[in-house]
Structure 1
Amino acid sequence: MDESPDLPLDLAFAALADPTRRAILRQLSAGEASVTDIAGRLPISQPAVSRHLRLLEEAGLIETAPRGQLRPRRLRAGGLSAARTFLDEMARYWPDRLDALAAFLDETKDQP
């Protein structure tokens, strides 16, 4: 089965849709952390944190930095590049559309 060309984008947005995963990304923006460190700051079990980390890694947003027995996680450089490209493209589109909507509303505001 062929993978969709939008798969990295789909995975990134799916990962970002969850508030727990966004909290993990915020935590990792301060530097790498172990699963235990990450779990200690969240109101969920360590196995649940591990599942969230696996999804973030599959989405390409984080990576494991193995050092001996330790396997800390860190943000992956460029992990959000597909999402950023998509949002940049949409950001160029929306101002024109919003201006057109504003003009339409101005033209029709006095109509019944």
Structure 2
Amino acid sequence: MTVFQCTTTAGWAQVMYRVMDSGAEVAVPYFVLLIFFGPYFVVNLFLAVLKTKFGKAQSLFLANMVVTQDKKQNTLAAAAGWVLRVLGGCVERRRVAAQAREEDLARKLQESDGAWSWRVEY
């Protein structure tokens, strides 16, 4: 915990003075190295955690975007299928009605013994 406190540079001077007062001869080089390289390590550790978290968030976002795009395509395909079924039904009804009119006209023409009438009823 003391090393972490020194690497964050919060209150490291008091820790250094206590170690020096205890008679440790390597305290000065240890704290010089710790103060110069410790924060660099902590910052890199912090950035690594951020990169990992943002990477996970990005992958979740992209996966959600793909699912959303698939839903949109499925919805569009379903709507297009419905429109085609409705239009297909309309076209089929018109074709059947036109065929019925042709058959009706052909029947009327046969009933009239070949006499052509200028008036045609639909």
* TM-score normalised by L of structure 2: 0.27
Larger gyration radius, structure 1 or structure 2: 2
Bigger relative contact order (CA 8 A; separation at least 6): 1
Higher relative strand content:
1
